[in-house]
Structure 1
Amino acid sequence: MKFNRRAFIKAAAIAPAATLPFVSCSENYSSTGDNKSVLRADFSKLKNMTADVKPISREERQSRISKAQELMRENKVDALFLEPGTSMKYFLDFDFFLSERMVAAVIPSSGDVMYICPKFEEDKVGELVKFGSEIRTWEEHESPYAVVKGILSDKIGRTGTLGIEERCRFFLYDGIKKEASGFNYVLGDPITAGCRMYKSAAEIALMQKANDITIEAYKVLFDSLYEGMSQDDFREIASQAHKALGANGSIGANFGEWTAFPHGSSKVQYLKEGDVVLADGGCTIEGYKSDISRTIVFGQPTDRHKEVWNLAKEAQTAAFELAKNQGVKCEDLDAVARKVISDGGFGPDYKYFSHRLGHGIGMDGHEWTNLVRGNDTPLAKGMCFSNEPGIYIVGEFGVRVEDCMYVGENGPVYFSQPSPSIEEPFA
């Protein structure tokens, strides 16, 4: 398929109206007088896709707390300290804004969760607490670190080991450590990652929904490309399409030579005929993410475009096929994809494929664990990754194909089906 405005209008003329979620025609554009165009898009044909979404149940969160406590005992960690963020949401279904004032939770290796907050926030925090019930507070002139020490003393004693969640801000860790100096402090990853790395069926379903929605948003985007389109136009269409489909999401893009930067350029860009378009983004459903990249050409792809794109696709396929084997490690997938690209003339090593093959994904867009050299973690049921080989040729263009996958009962399963070709972004 050739992606340009003329091709889309022709398709619109012969396709059933129900299949056209986006209307693109001459009256949909207006000049701003500075060689830019403003897109007026009609998203009325898009339907909310979230009616069947099932949030994570209370029972599942309770099982997460129990598993965390089991992992604490296995790792000789007496308690886990969390502040608001995805881990606190994951375990406790608790969400609160971050400020200089401590709002936090302590999950002991046995017993109930306890919370810390400023006295004036106690009622608000109390409304949000769903697991445990005790909230200990501090007045503005008092030390929240002394409150944490009191909890540790009551739950553990004068000494022990406290796990600190990896995204906890340093000043909180530092304050607790100074106040409760008799404790040993360790990174909480064996507990947090030990739970979050392995997704349940309910989590997989939420991620599947997020990916399904993002694919539909991509279809709107690629049907609405036009000469002179800016990156801001592109992102706005993506945002509005996701919203119409029932999600908060974003997709960014770079055009032409700037696609050779894996995460794009800060330079203002306007789409023109013959440009490679490298788009990347996703959305969030009940806290769970999608992440999909697509590379196409606005116009007719050249043989060079096809050669590079096909090699990236071959690398993606090689990694997926290897993941079907027993005993495969995370680093093995990176190695097999990197070999395909190097053997295809775009090596050695990181020269053109300049990043790891993939990252973990779940409640965070990037989380444990990565498909990267040196990571000997074996693949296991419930793990979720991006599979995103790229080839970036500075001064020419770049290509990335990215679809996320999870390890199912019988091997890897894609959340989004990979593109068949540079001219066919959707399977």
Structure 2
Amino acid sequence: MTDTPAPFTAADHAARLRRAESAAADAGLDGILVAPGPDLVWLTGYRPVETERLTLLVLRPGEEPVLVVPKLEAPDAARAAPALALRDWTDGQDPYRAAASLLGGTGGTGRYAVSDNAWAMHLLGLQRRLPDTSYVSLTDALPMLRAVKDPVELDRLAAAGAAADAAYEEIRTVRFAGRRETEVAADLAGLLRRFGHSQVDFTIVASGPNGADPHHEAGERTIERGDMVVLDFGGLKDGYGSDTSRTVHVGEPDAEERRVHDIVRAAQEEGFRAVRPGAACQDVDRAARAVIDEAGYGAYFVHRTGHGIGVTTHEPPYMVEGEERPLVPGMCFSVEPGIYLPGRFGVRIEDIVTVTEDGGRRLNTTSRELAIVD
């Protein structure tokens, strides 16, 4: 699981750049502006330090992609993305003049999508130079740009899922009772790294009443016998995300705890069964939610059923009511219904699923039965 895959090639990144330019043209955009972050890494392989100095990839349909970069970082950019043309600027110069010249100069107009993590100071600086331009969030304009994964990306997501599964199998063997949530969370983080994760994004360990908070941060509560414990953990392995949830019980559960877990497990199964090409994203949410509603716990399922995953652990598409976008083979997302009973306990079960030509395939394969831990 810790074998390092071959890096993406210049041809891979060139194809992604062409896809982005084509998508921009189809959306009626004059271009895409990409700041340091996951979009820039996905498009070019370049991961610069994110600082107050402007770095910006300018993509315009029919024109050569250009990376505006501080002069002191130009050598690193040239090595990381040798196929990109560079426009460098030096400290003391106005970096927005360099960027504006690529968009038609001071008289430039047009509508551009900007990567979501661009710094406000950089966008405002560009707007001062180009007051007749307009901007929209890249996620709003092109939400599906990274959504459909190619076979190599699917392999990396599957490997990340398998590594998270291995971490879950190991964490089930550790002692829970009498230990703080933070201690078990540290065990989980260590296991994710042991199985090949370079980055741990979250390790939710929510015991007893804390399990009723879907995004509970592991705290100093001591886990007790009789507690239900929600485990939700993931991060990046070889640049692609993992994210899985299982709920365990310390000692034997009572009848209600078993029943609620069974309902969530059935809801998760129905959500998975709704995955198929052409189905709407909201169909997955509806299928899972219907099971929980019918069981009388609808008021306690307080979040969407799923989110996309790729070079980040949360990205489009989203499995939520109102999202009518159709599922396409190669999309990857979570299916994670839950029930959260305030002051008592919570249950969540989550797998990453990819859309296939005739349905869906789980990338997490550990048991979804209620596990008993010590």
Q: TM-score, normalised by structure 2?
A: 0.93
Aligned counterparts of 2:238 and 2:63: Cα–Cα separation in 1: 28
CA-to-aligned-CA distance 1:58-84 (integer Å, 9 cap, x gap): 322211111111112212222211111
SS in 2 for 1:111: coil
Q: Is 1:409 equivalent to 2:357 in the alignment?
A: yes
Query: 1:195 aligns to what SS in structure 2?
Result: coil
Q: Letter of the 2:342 partner, please give it.
A: V
Residue in structure 2 matched with residue 396 of structure 1 by the alignment:
344
Alignment partner of 1:152 is 2:103: yes
Contact 1:294 1:401 in 2 (8 A): yes
Alpha-carbon shift at residue 408 of structure 1 (Å): 1.2
Deviation at 1:423, TM superposition (A): 2.9
Q: Which of 55, 61, 82 is the aligned partner of 2:13?
A: 61
Cα 1:334–1:194, aligned 2, differ >3 Å: closer, same or farther? closer
RMSD after superposition: 2.1
SS of residue in 2 equivalent to 1:254:
strand
How far apart in 1 are the matches of 2:371 and 2:197? Answer: 27
Given that 2:176 and 2:184 are in contact with CA atoms closer than 8 Å, whether structure 1 keeps it comes out as no
Partner of 1:336: 287
Counterpart AA for 2:126:
I
Q: Deviations over 1:375-396 (max 9, x none)?
A: 1111111111100000000121
Pairwise CA distance, 1:165: 1.6
SS where residue 115 of structure 1 aligns? Answer: strand
- Deviation digits for residues 85-127 of structure 1 (CA, Å, limit 9, x no counterpart): 0000000111012111111211221232212222333333333
Q: Which residue of 2 aligns with 1:327?
A: 278
Instruction: Tell me which residue corresponds to 1:421.
Output: 369
One-letter amino acid of the counterpart of residue 341, structure 1: I
Q: Give 1:5-24 correspondences, 5 Å limit.
A: none
Structure 2 partner of 1:310? 262
Tell me the CA shift for residue 148 of structure 1: 0.7
Q: Is the 8 A contact 2:203 2:218 kept in 1?
A: no
Which has the higher Rg, Structure 1 or Structure 2?
Answer: 1
**Deviations, residues 324-370 of structure 1 (Å, cap 9, x unaligned):** 4x5321112111211110110113xxx20010111111111110011
Kindly, what percent of the aligned residue pairs are identical? 27
* Preserved contact between residue 64 and residue 195 of structure 1 (Cα < 8 Å): no
* Letter of the 2:296 counterpart: G
My pick for the range that moved more, 201-210 or 55-64, is 55-64
Gap regions ≥5 residues in structure 1: 1-48
Q: Establish whether residue 225 from structure 1 lines up as the match of residue 175 from structure 2.
A: yes
Q: Could you tell me which of 295, 299, 302 is aligned with 1:354?
A: 302
Partners of 2:248 and 2:256 in 1: CA distance? 13
The separation in 2 between residues aligned to 1:411 and 1:54, in whole angstroms, is 29
Aligned length: 371
Gaps (5+ residues) in structure 2? none
* Aligned-partner Cα distance in 2 for 1:262–1:194: 26
1:79 and 1:163 in contact (8 A); partners too: yes
Q: Structure 1 residue 221: deviation in Å? A: 1.1
Matched, 1:180 2:130: yes
Q: Please, which of 119, 130, 143 is the counterpart of residue 193 of structure 1?
A: 143
The alpha-carbon deviation at position 191 of structure 1 amounts to 6.5
Q: Residue in 2 aligned with 1:169?
A: 119
Q: Secondary structure at the match of 2:104?
A: helix
